[in-house]
Structure 1
Amino acid sequence: MNVNFYVTCIADALKANVAKQSVLLLEQLGCKLTFLEKQGCCGQPALNSGYNQQAIPAIKNLITTFEANDYPIVAPAGSCVHAIKTYASYFPDEPKWAERADRLAERFYDLTDFIVNQLKVTQVGAKLNGTAVYHPSCSLFRKLGVVHEPVTLLQNVEGLKLIPIQNQTTCCGFGGTFSVKMAEISGEMVIEKAEHIKEVQPDYLIGADVSCLINIGGRLQREGSPIKVLHIAEVLMSR
């Protein structure tokens, strides 16, 4: 299957291994990857801050870029996928752009959603010994409704045991610009999340959104925790 890969800003700038492992995983599952070089930021930071008009050039660039073909588009970040799926709402006075945005949205998938629901794969042959807590990001869990797909893939990783925590689906406090605008509240939220994770003493914290992992992982590191933080793509490529 031909697939476009959308790298996302955070994966490109801060977590290159997440992008690399996502690409290798999709290729392992039989996908032929295309990387359209004109892709850029999805505009999410501006949209989250209320700068809708300022985000329009980035939005139009992404729409135009991915119109180069009709392949499905896969990204390793639910927050970016959700932002792109809302594009049409930012063109109330430009119906042609809204139509183009809707067509783009239909082609965009979170990595785990694509693997389970499009490729029909739940067992990728991964092996990782230890215990893990899975953090369901708000964008993936609440906004996109991708609930069971990441868990199913992780449950099929040989040697890995998922363990629950208190308030597992509670937000970690990142929320994009929320963590900047409401830093004190955000800080208390991630402290609580880290406490619940440490209570069960897992070997790994696993998530499907890099931004949440950076937030929670940063808190755990500051507290001297040995818990290793991994994106699900890194786990699924473990052998």
Structure 2
Amino acid sequence: MRAALFVTCLADSFYPDVGKSVVGVLRALGVEVTFPEGQTCCGQVTFNSGYWADTKAAAKRFIEVFEHEEYVVMPSGSCASMVREQYPQLLDGEPGWADRALSTAARVYEFSEFLVKVVGLEKIHATYHGTATYHTSCHMTRQLQVVDEPLAVLSRVNGLQLVPLRNNQDCCGFGGTFSVKLPEVSAAMADEKLQHMAETKADFVIASDLGCMMHLTGRAARQTHAGATPSSSVTPSSSLTPSASSAPLPMKHVAQVLAEGGLV
């Protein structure tokens, strides 16, 4: 089995360890991993901002780079949903490109989805002692309809106790360019999400989307380092709001839990 890694912009720039974990886990499970060096952005930012001509150029580039791969795996549900859900619509009616978009999209998988639907859960054996709560990504849930897969993967990790997150269906407030267009609303949504995470008293939070991870850890760090007052009436607990000398919100990608749990 062979899979190409689309590392995503955020993994490339901010979370390289997540990319390394994805590669390590896939290889440990017998998957040959390739990394097409011609890859660029999926185009989600320009798409959300209304620059569709630029997005089409990015989409066509992605298709040219990945259309002959057996599988394409991504550590981010939002990027996977961009390719699977938006590319076919974006390129609909363009001769030659519409069919190529559909064909490529059919082989694109979010990381945990790939483990469940292609690799098989029976191959996953990891051990990670601790209590965690899982943050549900909006793009994975609402567009990809990937809900149970990450939880099924985590259920294969011995020693890991998952506790429920109140209002887990709520958005963290990132939403691509939403956080830039409506920063006050975005920050208030993050504050509420942080409070719900703190209520679980978990050791750390697990997520599948790097945008959510960046947004929530950044918000927690900003509140603490600047001594900021939360933008809403919600006050995040100190258990997930770090001191200036400690790491920001303890948050790990599903791939990191597996890699640190002995799969790499």
In which range does the TM-score fall when normalised by the shorter chain? over 0.9
Give me the whole-angstrom Cα distance separating, in 2, the residues matched to 1:175 and 1:228: 21
Structure 1 residues 123 and 148: alpha-carbon distance in aligned structure 2, compared to 1, 3 A threshold: farther
Give me the whole-angstrom Cα distance separating, in 2, the residues matched to 1:137 and 1:93: 31
Give me the whole-angstrom Cα distance separating, in 1, the residues matched to 2:121 and 2:155: 13
The aligned counterpart of 1:219 is: 219
Structure 2 unmatched runs, 5+: 225-237, 243-248
Identity of aligned residues (%): 40
Q: Is the 8 A contact 2:130 2:160 kept in 1?
A: yes
Does residue 111 of structure 1 match 2:111? Answer: yes
The aligned counterpart of 2:150 is: 150
Cα displacement string for residues 129-182 of structure 1 (whole angstroms, at most 9, x for unaligned residues): 111110010011111011111011112211111111210111000001000001
The aligned counterpart of 2:120 is: 120
The aligned counterpart of 1:37 is: 37
| Structure 1, 170-179 or 155-164: larger mean CA deviation | 155-164
The aligned counterpart of 1:83 is: 82
Within a 5 Å distance, the mapping from 1:134-173 to structure 2 comes to: 134-173=134-173
Within a 5 Å distance, the mapping from 1:169-208 to structure 2 comes to: 169-208=169-208
Give me the whole-angstrom Cα distance separating, in 1, the residues matched to 2:208 and 2:122: 16
Cα drift, residue 117 of structure 1: 0.9
Which amino acid counterpart does residue 234 of structure 1 have in structure 2? Q
RMSD: 1.3
Q: Is the 8 A contact 1:116 1:149 kept in 2?
A: yes
Give me the whole-angstrom Cα distance separating, in 2, the residues matched to 1:203 and 1:2: 35
Q: Given the two structures, how large is their TM-score scaled by the length of structure 1? A: 0.95
The aligned counterpart of 1:231 is: 253
Q: Given the two structures, how large is their TM-score scaled by the length of structure 2? A: 0.87
Give me the whole-angstrom Cα distance separating, in 2, the residues matched to 1:115 and 1:210: 18
Cα drift, residue 91 of structure 1: 2.1
Give me the whole-angstrom Cα distance separating, in 1, the residues matched to 2:193 and 2:141: 16
TM superposition outliers: structure 1 runs of 4+ over 4 Å? none
